[in-house]
Amino acid sequence: MNNFQLNSNRMTAELLKANELHKVDPVFGQVSFDGHEQVVFCHDKDTGLKAIIGIHNTVLGPALGGTRMWNYTNEWEALNDVLRLSRGMTFKNSISGLNLGGGKAVIIGDAKTQKTPELMRRFGQFVDSLSGKYITAEDVGMETKDMDTVNEVTKHVAGISVERGGSGNPSPVTAYGVFMGMKAAAKYKFGSDNLEGKKVLVQGIGHVGEVLVQHLTESGALVTITDINEDRVNQVGAKYGAKIFTGADLYSADVDIYAPCALGATINDATINNIKASIIAGAANNQLANEAVHGKILKEKGILYAPDFLINAGGVINVYSEIVKWTNAQVMEKTENIYNTALEIFKFADDNNITTHQAAFSMAQKRIDDAKNELKK
C-alpha cells in the first residue's frame, strides 16, 4: 500500500518559507515528487511564457494530461501542483484501462489577462519538442480554442474542436461515466442498480452535473439539486422537474446518494460526520480532503465511496478516443465499463479490508507494474 500512502497527503501541499528553500532539493526533494520521469521548465521572454510540464510515468503509453493556467503565488506552488496532478493522471489513465501514462502542464499566469495566442503557440512548441512523450489537453483556465491554437504547431494535443477533427465537448461522456459508477455503487450497496425512487442530491450543476441530472431523472430517481448559481438551479430544476435544495446543511440531507459535482474536498472534517447518504458518487475531483483519513472514516460509517478518479474518467476516455480514432459507440462502451471496474474495486476493498480509494490505487498500480514486468522480459 506504499503507493497509496505516498499519495494520501497530495492535497495537503507543504509550502516552505522563503528562508527554508535553500535547504531543500528544489525538484527531487519536493513533497509531491514521486519517481517522476521528467520535469520540463519552459520559458519564453517575448511572450512571457513560464510553464512546467510534469511527466510522471510512461510505462503504459505517452503521458496524457491537461494544461492548467493559474496565477500561482510562487513557482514552488506551481511545481507542487504539476507534480501532484501528473501523478494523479497516471492512476486515472491506468484504472480506466487506457494505454496512457500520466502527465500534466501548468502555465504560470492569469488566464483572463495574460493568455494570448502567441503564448499558447509558444507553449505548443515546447510540447512538440517532447516528440509525443507528453500529449496535452485542456484543464482549468483553458478552452477548446486554446487547444486549437496549440494544434497549429503540434499534433500532440487532444480535446480540439470538432471542426479540426477533435472529439468535442467531453461533458456528456463524463456524466455518463459518473452515472455508471453510481449505478454500480447502488448494485453493491442496495442489491440492485435500479435507481427508481432513490433520493439523489446533486451538488453543482454545470455541464456535467446537468447531464447527470438528466440521466437520473430518466431512470426515475428523485433528484434534488444545489448550486451557487441560483438562476442555473431554477433553470435546471424547471427543465427536469428536480427539487431545489433549501435546507441549512446539504450534507445532513436525508438522501440515499450524494453526488458532489462542483469543487473538490467537500468531504472534510467539518462535513463528514453529517453525511446521511449511503453512497457518495460524483464528478468532482479530489472529493476527499484527506484521502487516507476521510476514506477510512467513510468506510467505518458504512458509506460506500465510488473513487472519483475512476468514475469521472469519461472525459479522459473521450480525449483518448481522438488519439486512437475510436467511434462514439466505442467511447460509450469503454465509459460503460466503469460500471464493471467499480464493482471489482468495491469487492477488492471488502475482501482486503481496505478503503475503496486504496483498492482503486492498488489496482491501478498493479496494471502499471504488470506492464513494466512485461517490458523487462
**CB 267, CB 298: distance < 8 Å:** yes
pLDDT of residue 12: 41
pLDDT of residue 264: 81
Residue 237 sits in a domain of what CATH number?
3.40.50.720
* CA-based torsion, 152, 154, 160, 165: positive or negative: positive
Query: Could you tell me which residues come within 8 angstroms of residue 347 by beta carbon, excluding any fewer than 6 positions away?
Result: 188
Distance, CA of 209 to CA of 16 (rounded, Å)? 37
Q: Is residue 372 domain-resident?
A: no
Catalytic residues: 104
Region class of 168: left (phi > 0), else alpha (psi between -120 and 50), else beta: left
Say whether both 63 and 154 belong to one domain.
yes
SS3 string, 33-72, reads CCCCCEEEEEEECCCCEEEEEEEEECCCCCEEEEEEEECC
Q: Which of 260, 353, 352, 344 is nearest to 299 (CA)?
A: 353
52, 136, 144 from 148: Cα distances, Å: 20, 11, 6
Q: Is residue 369 domain-resident?
A: no
Q: Is residue 151 domain-resident?
A: yes
Say whether both 126 and 142 belong to one domain.
yes
Which of 135, 163, 191 is at the close of a domain?
163
Which of 163, 183, 199 is at the close of a domain?
163
Distance, CA of 355 to CA of 2 (rounded, Å)? 14
Helix (H, G, I), strand (E, B) or coil at 366: helix
pLDDT of residue 171: 86
Going across the sheet that includes 222-226, the strands are 243-244, 222-226, 199-203, 257-260, 279-280, 304-305
Say whether both 223 and 144 belong to one domain.
no
Q: Is residue 196 domain-resident?
A: yes
Instruction: State the cell numbers at 361.
Output: 490505487
Say whether both 226 and 247 belong to one domain.
yes
Say whether both 145 and 189 belong to one domain.
no
Grid cell 499519495 is found at: 7
Residue 85 sits in a domain of what CATH number?
3.40.50.10860
Say whether both 309 and 185 belong to one domain.
yes
User: What's CA 70's distance to the chain center, in Å?
Assistant: 17
Query: Could you tell me which residues come within 8 angstroms of residue 202 by beta carbon, excluding any fewer than 6 positions away?
Result: 209, 212, 213, 216, 223, 224, 225, 226, 242, 259, 261, 282
Q: Is residue 373 domain-resident?
A: no
**CB 266, CB 260: distance < 8 Å:** yes
Say whether both 184 and 144 belong to one domain.
no
Which of 138, 163, 188 is at the close of a domain?
163
Say whether both 224 and 290 belong to one domain.
yes
Domain count of the fold of the chain: 2
Q: What is the pLDDT along the chain (377 residues), one digit of tens a residue?
A: 444 333 434 444 455 565 665 566 778 877 788 899 999 999 999 999 999 999 999 999 999 999 999 999 999 889 988 998 899 899 999 999 999 999 999 999 999 999 999 999 999 999 999 999 999 998 888 999 999 999 999 999 999 999 998 987 788 999 999 999 999 999 999 999 999 999 999 999 988 999 999 999 999 999 999 999 999 999 999 999 999 999 889 999 999 999 999 878 899 999 999 999 999 999 998 899 888 999 999 999 999 999 999 999 999 999 999 999 999 899 999 999 999 999 999 999 999 999 999 999 999 999 999 999 998 87
Q: Is residue 4 domain-resident?
A: no
pLDDT of residue 285: 83
Q: Domain limits at 287?
A: 171-313+341-364
Say whether both 212 and 309 belong to one domain.
yes
Say whether both 347 and 254 belong to one domain.
yes
Instruction: State the cell numbers at 107.
Output: 502555465
Q: Is residue 319 domain-resident?
A: no
pTM of the full structure: 0.84
Say whether both 202 and 349 belong to one domain.
yes
Q: Is residue 199 domain-resident?
A: yes
Exposed/middle/buried for 38, CB within 10 Å: 0-12, 13-18, 19+? middle
Say whether both 245 and 109 belong to one domain.
no
Going across the sheet that includes 101-108, the strands are 38-44, 49-57, 101-108, 63-70, 134-138
Instruction: State the cell numbers at 200.
Output: 439523489
pLDDT of residue 139: 86
